[in-house]
Amino acid sequence: MFLRKVALSVLCITAAFTAHSQTVSNEAMRSIHDVYGKMIEIPAAPKRVITLSEIDLDSTLALGLTPIGTVNGRGQQTLPRYLQAAIQQDIKIVGDLSRPNMETILELEPDLILTTPNRPEVLALLNEIAPTVVTFKRGEPWKDTFNRTADILNRQKEAIAFMARYQQAIQQSKADIGDKAGQTISIVRWNPKGPAYMFKDAFASQVIADLGMTRPANQQDPGHTHSLSLSLEALNVLDGDWMVIGTLSTSGDAVDAMKQAESSPAFKQLSAIQTKRFEAVDGSLWTSVGGPLAALSVMQDIVKLVNKPDAEPLTP
């Protein structure tokens, strides 16, 4: 039903969009490959870009381009919280992740759409509006996605400059971390049904590895998603030298469940909790699909965490 309504909406507005389509077709075009190796014709210098995922918005901003439209952050009714400070111009909200509003997108007259993997019928509808490029494979390193997006947007120099900045931040953060290098960081995502831990290939794990730290032995499952929700009796697998705990939203069932668990004996017995080597973090940043600006934010969180003034030192 959703797609039928969307299709009818697109058909109703297509006539009004004809003039814009002719303008786009007169622009200089070039051929690129999307993440699946499919050849796509796109504008050589896209100016009206819409991003339909957090990592697309993140990468585009890091490359010095503000999109005209994007989707709400995961589990949020606003732009992703961690990116709001980096956004200097108005960006139109065009729906939620995986559920873009076709009418709103059409009205913005984009010349390029960057998107997460989605259903073929959704991608087909988007391609009726403007050239649409799937920019990443689920689970691939954020740096690969970032470089691919830079190629798509023809902003390779900007990507090189950002990665130089990222490497400088890594070196400074390593110096700030000091003798905590090699210690473990547990990444906990609190859901309404209880806590889960992120698998070893998750986005934030890549940043942890760049800083010379690692994940606990109990959190080495391959993959980029997270475990099933754990019972309070199984919370010991969440322990680590350090721990971050995040929820996708700042209120709701997950937050209530976390507050309830914090008072339980099983939670209080975790060594990271007892020694105050833990911190609450933005779950939409730490436990979702992150990009270059997210990586910098996670890095800052790690430096802050391991330098908490009230944290007890790790004993050999």
Helix axes 292-306, 54-62, angle to 10 degrees: 90
Give tens-digit pLDDT for 178-210. 999 999 999 998 887 888 999 999 999 999 999
Give the integer Cα–Cα distance in Å for 298 and 208: 9
Neighbours of 240 (CB within 10 A): 26
Identical fold, 2-154 and 168-306? yes
Q: Indicate the fold that domain 168-306 takes in CATH.
A: Rossmann fold (3.40.50)
- For residues 157-191, one letter each, b for 16 or more C-beta atoms within 10 angstroms of the residue's C-beta and e for the rest, the string is eebeebbeebeebbeebbebbeebeebbbbbbbbb
Q: Residue ranges per domain, the chain?
A: 2-154, 168-306
Please state the pTM of the whole predicted model: 0.89
User: Is residue 153 scored above 60 in pLDDT?
Assistant: yes
pLDDT tens-digit readout, 12-66? 555 445 444 544 555 799 999 999 888 999 999 999 999 999 999 999 999 999 9
Q: What is the per-residue pLDDT across 214-267, written as a single tens digit (0 to 9) for each? A: 999 999 999 999 999 898 788 899 999 999 988 766 555 545 656 666 777 888
Which one-letter amino acid corresponds to residue 256?
D
pLDDT at 312 (0 to 100) = 93
Q: Which fold has domain 2-154?
A: Rossmann fold (3.40.50)
193 with 171: CB under 8 angstroms?
no
* pLDDT at position 23: 46
Q: Residue 214 forms beta bridges with which residues?
A: 184
